Homo-oligomer: A and B are copies of this chain.
C-alpha cells in the first residue's frame, strides 16, 4: 500500500508532498516539529509532544499556528491512512510539522499569514539501522560544531533550524561512519546528540545535561520517571568530557529506539556495553508500554528501511 502524507488537509503520495519555496518554513527554517512513535499502534505520550510544540511556537514569538487538538487530529489521520502497512506487532513513527505558511512576495511580519502549512507523515521504524546496537552499543563522536547557545536560539524550541546538526553529522560520519555526533555547548559542556538526549552513569547515579542547553526530550523525561521508579538517582548537571570518559556506562534516548547503549566516545570505550542501568531502564520501558522493544526491533531488522545504517537519522527520531 502506498504511503500517504498529510499536507494542508489532504492525504497525498510522498512524491507529491511539497512546500512552496516561498514558505517561511523553507526561507527561515521556521518549521515547528514533533516526532512520535506508536506502541501497539497507539501514539506514545502525545500530550507531552503537543505541549512542547505549543511552547516552541510561543518561544519564537508566534501565537500558536495550530491548536493541540487540531494537531492531534492530523496525527491520527495520517496514522489511520497508513496503519494497514504495519502488522499488529510492528509500530510506526510519525513526524508532524507546522510553518507560518507562505511569506513571499506577501508580508512576513504583518502577523502570521492566513494559512499555516501543516504536514504529517508516518514511516516504518528503521530497525535495520539500530537493532544490533542494543547489544553492541552505538558510538559517539564529539563534533567541532557546537550547539547553539540559548542566548541565540534555545535548543529547547524544537524546529528544523538544524544546519549545525547537519554539519555535526558530516563531521562525525567522516571520523566514524557508525557513530552519532555528540554536541558540546560553547563552554565545552555536553548537550545532546543530533537526534537524541545523552545519559551517562557513574557509581550507580545517572547524569544528564540540564535544561539550560539541551532539548527537553520526552524520552529523556520518560527515562527520568523510570529511574525514579527504579530508585536510580538522576542528576542534571553541567557535564564535561571527564565525566564521559570516566563513566561506567551511557546511553542515547529518543522516540524511535527508546534507549540505545553507548559504546564509546571518540577514542575512549565505555566500561560496560550495555551497562546494567541501561538494561534495567530499557526493560522498564518495555514493561511500561507492553512491548518488548528489543525483540520487536530484532524481529523486523531484516526489513530494509532505506535508512542508511550509520546515521542517527533525526527524521526517524525525536528526543
Name A's B-contacting residues (CB within 8 A). Answer: 5, 7, 14-15, 17-22, 24-31, 54-55, 58-62, 97, 103-110, 119, 121, 123, 142, 144-154, 156-157, 159-167, 169-171, 173-175, 177, 184, 186-189, 210-212, 237-238, 240-242, 245-246, 266-268, 305-308, 310-311, 313-315
Q: Which 6 A-B pairs rank lowest in CB-CB distance, beginning with the nearest? A: A151-B188, A107-B308, A18-B18, A29-B29, A154-B242, A174-B267
Query: What is the oligomeric copy number?
Result: 6
- A146 and B157 contact, CB distance less than 8 A: no
User: Using Cβ atoms and an 8 Å threshold, which residues of chain B touch A242?
Assistant: 55, 59, 150, 154, 156-157
Q: Let me know if A151 and B186 touch, CB within 8 A.
A: yes
A61 to B245, Cβ gap below 8 A? Answer: yes
Inter-subunit contact B26/A160 (CB<8 Å): yes
Set of chain B residues within 8 Å of A313, measured between Cβ atoms: 108
Chain B residues within 8 Å of A175, by CB = 175
- Across the interface, do B104 and A315 meet the contact criterion of CB distance under 8 Å? yes
- Chain B residues with Cβ below 8 Å from A121 are 21
A109→B173 contact, CB < 8 A: yes
| Complex CA distance for A60 and B268, rounded to whole angstroms | 9
Please give 20 more A-B residue pairs, beta carbons under 8 A apart, in addition to A14-B22, A107-B307, A174-B267: A18-B20, A22-B315, A26-B31, A27-B315, A28-B160, A60-B166, A61-B267, A104-B315, A105-B305, A106-B306, A108-B308, A146-B149, A150-B241, A151-B240, A152-B152, A153-B163, A156-B240, A171-B267, A186-B186, A189-B212
**Given A29-B29, A29-B160, A173-B109: A21 touches B22 (CB 8 Å cut-off):** no
Closest B residue by C-beta to A216: B242
Task: State how many angstroms separate the Cβ of A180 from the closest Cβ of chain B.
Answer: 11
Chain B residue with Cβ nearest A54:
B246
- B-side contacts of A163, CB under 8 Å: 28-30, 60, 153, 159, 161
The answer to whether B150 touches A149, judged by C-beta atoms less than 8 angstroms apart, is no
Write out the residue numbers on chain B whose beta carbons fall within 8 Å of the beta carbon of A171: 61, 266-267
Q: Which residues of B contact A237 (CB under 8 A)?
A: 210-212
| Cross-chain contact B19 with A108 (CB below 8 angstroms) | no
